[in-house]
Amino acid sequence: MARVRTFIAVDVGDVVRGNATALQKQLARTGAAVKWVEPESMHVTLQFLGEVDERDLLKVCRTVATVARSEPPFALRVSGLGAFPTPRRPKVVWGGITDGADALRRLFGKLEAPLLELGVYRKEDRDYTPHLTLGRARGEADGTLLAGDMARHLAWEGGQTAVEELLVMSSEMERGGPVYAALGRAPLLGEAGEPNE
Q: Which residues are catalytic?
A: 43, 131
In contact, 67 and 166? CB cutoff 8 Å: yes
- CA–CA gap between residue 67 and residue 150 (Å, rounded): 37
Any idea how long the chain is?
197
Amino acid at 55: R
Nearest CA among 111, 24, 12 for reference residue 67: 111
- CA–CA gap between residue 63 and residue 186 (Å, rounded): 10
Torsion angle of C-alpha atoms 179, 180, 181, 183, degrees rounded to 10: 130
- CA–CA gap between residue 63 and residue 13 (Å, rounded): 24
Strands 89-97 and 74-86: antiparallel
The set of residues, in sequence order, having a beta carbon less than 8 Å from that of 174 and lying 6+ positions away, is: none
